[in-house]
Amino acid sequence: DPAVGRRGGPAELSRVVGVQSQMSERAVELLGLPGDQPCLLLDVGCGSGLSGDHISGEGHCWIGMDISPAMLDVALEREVEGDLLLADMGHGVPFRPGMFDGCISISAVQWLCNADKKSHSPPKRLYRFFSTLYTALARGSRAVLQLYPENSEQLELITAQAMRAGFTGGMVVDYPNSAKAKKFFLCLFVGTSGTLPKVRGVLRAAVTFLCRTRFRNVKGKSVKKSRDWILEKKERRRRQGKEVRADTKYTGRKRRPRF
């Protein structure tokens, strides 16, 4: 990679590989897999198979999917133990229902927020990904997606589509007070609401910093007449080109009864 060469050559490449390995280890840890049996995991955006190396090292089997033929060629040259699939996650996860015991993804999901083609709609591609992922995961399993959101709006878009697809869960932010070490892990639960793991890099008293997404009802929708429900309805009407009043701090606030 020429860019890596300009930034410091082999030393920089080694650092990047090290960071990738650490994030993969953390993602697998957050899955909370049983320690006494091998599981089948999906690695979304598997690239050259670095995450798969850790999965294999933990005694689990895995299937990796990636949109880049070049990266999958590297994985083949490295003779990774997992099976590989060339696929665009924005087109969905093409596996049978309940096939996987868990899913990880390192630094990939945020790319669905980009419209690389005129036909690309980020909300639709995100929903397609999350809804098919939900189906492919066994009930009671988890998906842990490490990502680099560009801003809070992008983070909200990703989490909203995940919850719309039926997931519950939230965001675990490791090292929240460090600009360089901060890492976002979207922890999603299938079928049951789990307890979000503790974050790393903060004192126990600061664990409340954990950034959690808004929880929905069991169908993945906001509770009717709630502030979230009203804001979503207004946003849908805006996308339809209809005139809608601006959002304020009073939006969705319950009024006192009149006498």
pLDDT the model gives residue 130: 97
**pTM for the full predicted model:** 0.72
Render pLDDT for 214-256 as a digit per residue (tens, 0 to 9): 434 434 455 566 777 788 788 777 777 788 888 887 777 766 6
In which element (H, E) is residue 15 found?
A: helix 10-31
Count, residues in the chain: 259
- Decide if pLDDT at 5 tops 60: no
Residues 190-204 as b or e (16 or more Cβ within 10 Å = b): beeebebbebeebee
CB 49 within 8 A of CB 82: yes
Mean pLDDT of 127-154: 94
pLDDT the model gives residue 248: 81
pLDDT the model gives residue 195: 65
For residue 49, which phi and psi values (nearest 5 degrees)? 90, 20
**What is the chain's mean pLDDT, rounded?**
82
For residue 211, which phi and psi values (nearest 5 degrees)? -90, 115
Give 14 or 213, the one with higher predicted confidence. Answer: 14
Q: Which ranges of 58-141 does DSSP label H, i.e. alpha helix?
A: 69-77, 122-136
pLDDT the model gives residue 13: 67
Q: Which ranges of 149-225 does DSSP label H, i.e. alpha helix?
A: 152-164
CA 147 to CA 242: how far, in whole Å? 33
CA 253 to CA 54: how far, in whole Å? 48
* Torsion-angle region of 234 (φ positive above 0: left; ψ -120 to 50: alpha; else: beta): alpha
pLDDT the model gives residue 9: 67
Among 140-144, 198-202, 205-209, 231-235, which range has the highest average pLDDT? Answer: 140-144
CA geometry: angle 66, 183, 99, nearest 5 deg? 40
pLDDT the model gives residue 207: 30
Nearest CA to 62 among 30, 24, 101? 101
Question: Could you tell me the pLDDT band of residue 193, with boundaries at 50, 70 and 90?
Answer: low
Q: In a 10 Å sphere around its CB, with 0-12 CB exposed, 13-18 middle and 19+ buried, how is residue 85 labelled?
A: middle
For residue 24, which phi and psi values (nearest 5 degrees)? -65, -45
Q: At what angle do helices 50-57 and 10-31 cross, to 10 degrees?
A: 50
Report the SS3 class of residue 173: strand
Which range (68-72, 189-193, 248-252) has the least confidence?
248-252
Give 99 or 192, the one with higher predicted confidence. Answer: 99
Give the strands of the sheet with 100-106, arranged side by side. Answer: 83-86, 61-66, 40-44, 100-106, 137-147, 183-189, 168-174
